[in-house]
Amino acid sequence: MTFKEFGLNESLLEGIDASGYENATPVQEQVIPLILSGKDIIASAQTGTGKTAAFLLPIIHKLLASRIEDQVNALVIVPTRELAVQIAQNLEGLSYFTPISSIAVYGGGDGSSFNNEKQALSKGADIVICTPGRMIAHLNMGYVKLKGLHYLVLDEADRMLDMGFYDDIMKIISYLPPVRQNLLFSATMPMKIRDLARKILHEPAEINIAISKPPARIVQNAFIVYEAQKIPLIKWLLKSTNFKSILIFCSKKHNVKQLTMELKRSRFNVKEIHSDLDQNGREEVLLEFKSRRLQILVATDILSRGIDIDNIDLVINYDVPNDGEDYIHRIGRTARAETDGVAYTFISEKEQNKFRVIEDLLGSPVTKVPVPEQFGPSPEYNPRKSRRPGGGGSGGGGGRKFSHQGGRGRH
């Protein structure tokens, strides 16, 4: 299912496209229509299933239709500053072409960051992502504008309760208007989560998304590389192996086009598929690939679900996919019909945290293959350690600013 099928705002669809998303994940397919219809939700969904976009997209869409300035319109409560940063980064990308304002509110910063948060919370921000303790520090000072709030999201609720945040959550909720839309996401559903849900949700729809695991027949390997090493390495890999049917996934159309052009220059039998091709063009390329007249197909995630080809020998993730569901669907294109398959993933420095989340979902690390010496030194694999990072987005700094993102050009 594509994001256009949800009927989302055109400016939001532009941000979705720029962020590299093609098709909705199962949790997004189930959750987005329910949120758009105004339902409260309790959803069992792990990090990496695409749940962050599942709640951000419909909230942004609804705010674009009926946002009230000079107040906080939506509040997302999360357990850690790392998750707050990641959600804020995802939000900024998705809302890039809209006037939606946002800020991440969390502890550990300096006095200037607290003052920035105070300014946003007192003057109003469309979407606030916060950790409980930091938000209570602001609430105690009396300037946070929450009386007109429309949307409350509790993300990784089970983790927040494990960390002892129950009283803080209930205190924050006491400041909110009684009529609002409530969305609760939790990886597990113990009784304490159900008790919390009964207190804050109104006739909720219940969603359960269990992430699948890739077939054991797939040999999974990864190369830790600098971004500039990806194209030379993929050419070497294709020349030094003897796979007859190869599917390469990129996260963005630009990368699909650039990589296909580079491979054609090196005389590889390669074509591309992405959303710029019309349906007839896609079908022609797929028929060539399925009949093995075409050896290498480079594609966006438009092909990660539903492609009916059983004899793909090798899948290469040229870019780390956006979440665990996409990774599993991508590499699941090989090792079909009881055959074996191989999957390689190229992980640049900026993609390491994203891949760490995928490995956590898989339950074990993917084997790291040394980059051949002729390509020079490569980075160490050293993603930021976190118990259970969230949102599927890249970690690191950012997410701190209070921003109005309307009227800017594409990245």
**Which residues lie below 8 Å from residue 159, measured CB to CB, with a gap of 6+?**
79, 187, 388
**Is it true that 3-210+391-404 and 218-375 share their CATH fold?**
yes
For residue 252, the model assigns a pLDDT of 86
Q: What is the rounded CA–CA span in Å between residue 158 and residue 190?
A: 8
For residue 406, the model assigns a pLDDT of 36
Residue 221: what are its φ and ψ, rounded to 5°?
A: -135, 160
Span 324-350, mean pLDDT? 80
Which of 168, 119, 172, 107 minimizes the C-alpha distance to 146? 172
| Residue whose token pair is 């909110």 | 176
From the DSSP assignment, how many helices (H) and strands (E) are in the chain?
14, 15
CATH 3.40.50.300 for the 218-375 domain, yes or no:
yes
State yes or no: pLDDT of 75 exceeds 90.
Answer: yes
* Furthest C-alpha separation in the chain: 69
Helix (H) or strand (E) holding 77, with range, is strand 74-77
What topology is assigned to 3-210+391-404 in CATH?
Answer: Rossmann fold (3.40.50)
Q: Which amino acid is at 64?
A: L
**Predicted confidence band at 55 (pLDDT cuts at 50, 70, 90)?**
very high
Going from N- to C-terminal start, the domains of the chain cover: 3-210+391-404, 218-375
For residue 304, the model assigns a pLDDT of 62
State yes or no: pLDDT of 12 exceeds 80.
Answer: yes
3-state secondary structure 303-334: HCCCCCCCCCCEEEECCCCCCHHHHHHHHCCC
| Residue whose token pair is 């600098």 | 226
Q: What is the rounded CA–CA span in Å between residue 186 and residue 42?
A: 8
Helix (H) or strand (E) holding 50, with range, is none
pLDDT digits (tens, 9 = 90+) for 153-203: 999 898 898 888 999 999 999 999 999 999 999 877 878 888 899 999 999
Taking all residues of the chain, what is their mean pLDDT, rounded to a whole number?
A: 85
State yes or no: pLDDT of 110 exceeds 80.
Answer: no
Q: What share of the chain is helix, strand, coil (3-state, %, to 5)?
A: 40, 15, 45
State yes or no: pLDDT of 397 exceeds 80.
Answer: no
Question: What is the CB-side half-sphere exposure of residue 74 using CA atoms within 13 A?
Answer: 29
Exposure pattern of 2-15 as b/e (b: 16+ CB <10 Å)? ebeebebbebbbeb
pLDDT digits (tens, 9 = 90+) for 275-316: 788 767 887 898 899 889 999 999 887 666 546 576 788 999
Q: What is the rounded CA–CA span in Å between residue 404 and residue 249?
A: 33
Neighbours of 302 (CB within 10 A): 19
